[in-house]
Structure 1
């Protein structure tokens, strides 16, 4: 008798291949056996999962909904099996990390270099994304750990701060006159502002803090990267909200100037996160230890 898990694996393979015969070949089964398994699953769920055509099969609306869940579940199972097979002494394995470009460049690189020097046989897989993207792929099993902008609230994730950062406003030569005195938030809002896109966790943090002070942000420019914020401010297109720790080269070289505010935005942190329900692999455990060693 075919188990429920086997039925879902067959369903998943047919959904990916869009063909009973191709799925059967991949699973080392006969086509009738695959067809019978799909029919059994459809009977148990009382739902048609595939549209049958002479050219192959396609998922129904209900089938597509089920496929998304099954795909995530099978990815998690595969990830679990890979972790079991890893060597405890870190002589083999892979470390999959979800992280954004800015954090990679300004925070993560030295840790990657150090880890690679100590464990040269561990392969890295770096998946780029926003904080919300990283949380999603963590839950689907595509990455082992995520390195994100905090604060972050998700009951399914273990969150460990690694490095404090500060949000500041910077300007170029054209706006240097505003540096003669400290500015209130209300004064700042009258200037052309340059911020990250609204879905950015960093942008949300600053915006929510401003709202708590009764000030609403209306930026002139909304950009997709921290480096662009710095460059737009450098060529005097406005006042950019940036991370001080990631802007030190521009500030030290006099390419940009920090705007002094009467009230500083509270510090936040960059941190590492991972699923509470899934044990970390040996490589992931060691890397998290390195990231959090100084906190």
Structure 2
């Protein structure tokens, strides 16, 4: 069945106003033209859509059922048109970015500042989740792009690497005498370890590396943020596994010390992720360009 969209638009206006005359006025049409349109639609669908009442018309049960779906569809079309117009020249619109807490604090902020200064009318929505949760949000369309800890094993997601990072173990002053010399992984796991929670990509990456060496790590403490890993190590509650590039202040100021492993954990990356099946919006494209321009300098 092929029915012109214009017929449904007129149908929705009559349903909203419960009146042929008011709908005609809103549509800049004559009342007879509106009535004829509804009659045509009823003939093509084979059902009566409206019942006449003293003050106008009301939807029949069939009309109510149709209106629920048609009105939603037309609203979606309007939203799509509006979004396209608003974002075309980056004069307005919204950019939804998913990012982990650590990356948000230690990596993303200057790029957000740069983007906002260039495109102040683009509304930024930042959603903090774990890498696995961000992948799900990408695939459900709830975010436009995600800045994640890599690697990500998902064939539906496109990844652009932005920055190399290194997982290291750090300790406080009380451990200095025992950890000042290079050591093996086997020696390290004999100390009380502090790691991120098991669902984090960073934790899983380190655990998988240890398992590849035949070592299973069982942390004394599990925490939800990189900042807490640094603080707990600083007060000597154990040896924390952190990202070196995001721990510079603590290491540079002598608040923490890096464990020198004989075999270092291989470097990995932070990357910007998007769905392969969906083209980036203009605002997403521009933000990714800002990220990549900085990377290439």
Mark the runs of 5 or more structure 1 residues left unpaired by the alignment. Answer: 7-28, 41-75
Q: Which residue pairs with 1:137 in the alignment?
A: 137
- Alpha-carbon displacement from aligned partner over 1:48-83 (angstroms, at most 9, x marks no partner): xxxxxxxxxxxxxxxxxxxxxxxxxxxx98986564
Q: Which residue pairs with 1:32 in the alignment?
A: 61
Q: How many corresponding residue pairs?
A: 239
Q: Which residue pairs with 1:262 in the alignment?
A: 262
Deviation of residue 181 (structure 1)?
Answer: 1.2
Q: Which residue pairs with 1:226 in the alignment?
A: 226
- Alpha-carbon displacement from aligned partner over 1:205-224 (angstroms, at most 9, x marks no partner): 01001100111111000111
Structure exhibiting the larger radius of gyration computed from Cα positions:
2
- Alpha-carbon displacement from aligned partner over 1:110-134 (angstroms, at most 9, x marks no partner): 0000111111111100011000111
Q: Which residue pairs with 2:181 in the alignment?
A: 181
Asked if structure 1 preserves the Cα contact closer than 8 Å seen for 2:87 and 2:283, the reply is no
Asked if structure 2 preserves the Cα contact closer than 8 Å seen for 1:170 and 1:258, the reply is yes
Q: Which residue pairs with 2:213 in the alignment?
A: 213
**1:164 matched to 2:164:** yes
- Alpha-carbon displacement from aligned partner over 1:230-268 (angstroms, at most 9, x marks no partner): 111011000000000111111111111101110111100
Deviation of residue 85 (structure 1)?
Answer: 3.0
Deviation of residue 86 (structure 1)?
Answer: 2.9
Instruction: State the alpha-carbon separation in 2 of the partners of residues 79 and 155 from structure 1.
Output: 30
Instruction: State the alpha-carbon separation in 1 of the partners of residues 231 and 126 from structure 2.
Output: 26
Instruction: State the alpha-carbon separation in 1 of the partners of residues 217 and 93 from structure 2.
Output: 46
Q: Which residue pairs with 1:71 in the alignment?
A: none
Asked if structure 2 preserves the Cα contact closer than 8 Å seen for 1:168 and 1:259, the reply is yes
Q: Which residue pairs with 2:127 in the alignment?
A: 127
Instruction: State the alpha-carbon separation in 2 of the partners of residues 203 and 79 from structure 1.
Output: 40
Q: Which residue pairs with 2:286 in the alignment?
A: 286
Asked if structure 2 preserves the Cα contact closer than 8 Å seen for 1:167 and 1:244, the reply is yes
Name whichever of 81-90 and 170-179 sits farther off: 81-90
**Secondary structure of the equivalent of 1:231?**
helix
Q: CA RMSD in A?
A: 2.8
Asked if structure 2 preserves the Cα contact closer than 8 Å seen for 1:171 and 1:258, the reply is yes
Name whichever of 178-187 and 223-232 sits farther off: 178-187
With over 3 angstroms needed to count, the CA separation of the structure-2 counterparts of 1:121 and 1:236, relative to structure 1, is same
Q: Give TM-score scaled by structure 2 length.
A: 0.74
Instruction: State the alpha-carbon separation in 1 of the partners of residues 225 and 78 from structure 2.
Output: 33
Deviation of residue 31 (structure 1)?
Answer: 7.5
Instruction: State the alpha-carbon separation in 1 of the partners of residues 158 and 152 from structure 2.
Output: 10
Q: Which residue pairs with 2:242 in the alignment?
A: 242
Q: List structure 1 runs of 4+ shifted beyond 4 angstroms.
A: 34-38, 76-83
Asked if structure 2 preserves the Cα contact closer than 8 Å seen for 1:83 and 1:281, the reply is no
Q: Which residue pairs with 1:58 in the alignment?
A: none
Mark the runs of 5 or more structure 2 residues left unpaired by the alignment. Answer: 9-57, 70-75
Deviation of residue 271 (structure 1)?
Answer: 0.5
Instruction: State the alpha-carbon separation in 1 of the partners of residues 265 and 79 from structure 2.
Output: 40
